């Protein structure tokens, strides 16, 4: 692990000119309007309405009603001085069955949103897929089936045709690791399946969907469009320097990171991944030419980071801690790694139980930059959940979140200083929202939402982040 440079907390850091300051959301987490204007259920609608899957039976039926309140939310972003907004499109709002023509009423919502953003001087950054597969495609087999990748490419073309004249930043997939391995492996995310082979098949077809989707975007978008994929690469660390723990880290790096980076950026899956999972599958679902299709030119690689992944090797029959931060399940989201244990790193934790470790973000950025020189990076998600409350004065004071973001921006700045080409930072999230299987129990937002009245209140961290975004200068937050 790299020893961090000693820098006083009160010092001010200046980010490069043109560095993009933004915030991010996802469609199912904020939009609501689940049955309006032709939208049909996604896998998350079905999952959240299944008893026992989401905390206290919470659903995204209303979420925070962004579908009707988007103008208010854009105004909030403008008042905070943000330069960009990363949002996702609901596939089942635009193409309800996952096939056929687009529903114009669904596209019209995104047209209105993008126009509102542009009028406010905020750059739209569009993500095509943030986990909400149309339920009809899941009923036909979902991501473990090749046809879903082909459907995704057709959907990408529909959205590009509608919004390509005004959106310049496009992301194909958000965190495909979660879609494949939490959705089809451990079952803690939609669609809730627990089959390691299906999870590996889903991973390949998500990769293929990325490649086909990128081809569809290039065919429809103007030449100045910028394409990316957003990966939650795991900052993997061995618990000890032992050979066994390093071997555990290699296994998790293979199925957590290189399963995406290999085909997307190098045109091949890592051979050790095939060896690790040979007892599960022969990977015959990878057809000739697939990896060439997956390896499409990218303008940016977007990285999501929250906490490190600390692992060790476990002897057969020994106790196997599973504190990987990805929910409780009897089924593992790590196929081929049955002898790997997961440990929480020491020190402060967020309300999610995730260790606060900005040094791991520095390591992730510098290592990725060194392995893939010439490919600009952006931090597309970073943030923290804490127990936030509205005070007697009507304000929400959240110094721990501000300190978390400050420390991680320090890590980003140091990575830039040490040669990583990092072009922007998107704070997760703009709003408190539906936090997947945690429902409304966890708050990541820079803006507090009263889930009864839906009233929005910027937290003190949002006001601090606003000053950073407006000036491009990182200073210590009050009370940090």
What is 343-407 written as a DSSP string? EPPSS-B-TTS-B--HHHHHHHHHHHHHHSTT--EEEEEE---------TTS-B--HHHHHHHHH
Question: 9 φ, ψ to 5°?
Answer: -60, -30
Strand partners, 20: 424
User: What gap in Å lies between CA 448 and CA 456, rounded to an integer?
Assistant: 6
User: What gap in Å lies between CA 268 and CA 286, rounded to an integer?
Assistant: 11
Beta carbons of 361 and 409 less than 8 angstroms apart: no
Beta carbons of 171 and 313 less than 8 angstroms apart: no
Query: In sequence order, which residues have a C-beta less than 8 Å from that of residue 104 and are 6 or more positions away?
Result: none
User: What gap in Å lies between CA 63 and CA 440, rounded to an integer?
Assistant: 9
Question: 323 φ, ψ to 5°?
Answer: -85, 70
Nearest alpha carbon to residue 303 among 255, 256, 246:
256
SS3 content of the chain, % helix, strand, coil (to 5): 40, 15, 45
Nearest alpha carbon to residue 30 among 75, 78, 82, 70:
70
Instruction: State the catalytic residues.
Output: 175, 381
Start-to-end CA distance of the chain, whole Å, equals 25
Quote the crossing angle between the two packed helices 146-163 and 104-119, to the nearest 10°. Answer: 50
User: What gap in Å lies between CA 104 and CA 203, rounded to an integer?
Assistant: 31
Token look-up 């931090």 returns 379
User: What gap in Å lies between CA 303 and CA 130, rounded to an integer?
Assistant: 14
Return the DSSP state at 476. Answer: P
Beta carbons of 167 and 115 less than 8 angstroms apart: no
The answer, yes or no, to whether the previous bond of 455 is cis (omega within 30 of 0) is no
């Amino acid at each position: 692990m790299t020893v961090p440079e000693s820098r006083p907390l009160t010092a001010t850091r200046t980010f490069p000119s043109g560095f993009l300051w933004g915030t991010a959301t996802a469609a199912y987490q904020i939009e609501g309007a689940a049955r309006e204007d032709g939208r049909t259920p996604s896998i998350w609608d079905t999952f959240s309405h299944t008893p026992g899957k989401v905390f206290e039976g919470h659903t995204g039926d209303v979420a925070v009603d962004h579908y009707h309140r988007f103008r208010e939310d854009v105004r909030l972003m403008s008042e905070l001085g943000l330069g960009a907004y990363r949002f996702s499109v609901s596939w089942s709002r635009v193409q309800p069955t996952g096939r056929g023509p687009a529903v114009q009423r669904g596209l019209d919502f995104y047209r209105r949103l993008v126009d509102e953003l542009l009028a406010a001087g905020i750059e739209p950054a569009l993500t095509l897929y943030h986990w909400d597969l149309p339920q009809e495609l899941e009923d036909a087999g979902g991501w473990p089936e090749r046809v879903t990748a082909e459907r995704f490419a057709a959907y990408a073309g529909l959205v590009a045709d509608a919004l390509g004249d005004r959106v310049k930043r496009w992301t194909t997939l958000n965190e495909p690791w979660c879609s494949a391995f939490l959705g089809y492996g451990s079952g803690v995310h939609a669609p809730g399946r627990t089959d390691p082979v299906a999870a590996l098949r889903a991973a390949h077809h998500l990769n293929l969907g990325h490649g086909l989707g990128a081809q569809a975007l290039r065919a429809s978008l103007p030449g100045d469009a910028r394409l990316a994929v957003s990966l939650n690469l795991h900052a993997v660390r061995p618990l000890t320097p032992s050979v066994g723990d390093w071997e555990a880290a290699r296994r998790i790096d293979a199925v957590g990171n290189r399963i995406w980076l290999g085909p997307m950026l190098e045109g091949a899956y890592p051979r050790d991944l095939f060896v690790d999972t040979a007892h599960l599958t022969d990977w015959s679902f990878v057809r000739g030419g697939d990896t060439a299709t997956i390896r499409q030119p990218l303008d940016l690689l977007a990285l999501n980071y929250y906490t490190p992944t600390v692992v060790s090797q476990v002897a057969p029959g020994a106790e196997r801690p599973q504190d990987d931060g990805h929910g409780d399940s009897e089924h593992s989201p790590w196929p081929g790694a049955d002898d790997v244990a997961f440990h929480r790193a020491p020190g402060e934790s967020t309300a999610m139980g995730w260790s606060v470790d900005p040094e791991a973000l520095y390591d992730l950025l510098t290592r990725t930059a060194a392995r893939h020189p010439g490919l600009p990076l952006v931090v597309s998600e970073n943030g923290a959940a804490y127990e936030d409350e509205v005070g007697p004065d009507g304000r929400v004071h959240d110094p721990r979140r501000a300190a978390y973001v400050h420390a991680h921006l320090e890590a980003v700045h140091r990575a830039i200083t040490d040669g990583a080409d990092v072009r922007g930072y998107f704070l997760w999230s703009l709003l408190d929202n539906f936090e997947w299987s945690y429902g409304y129990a966890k708050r990541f937002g820079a803006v507090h939402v009263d889930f009864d009245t839906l009233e929005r209140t910027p937290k003190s961290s949002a006001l601090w982040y606003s000053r950073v975004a407006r000036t491009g200068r990182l200073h210590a937050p009050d009370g940090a």
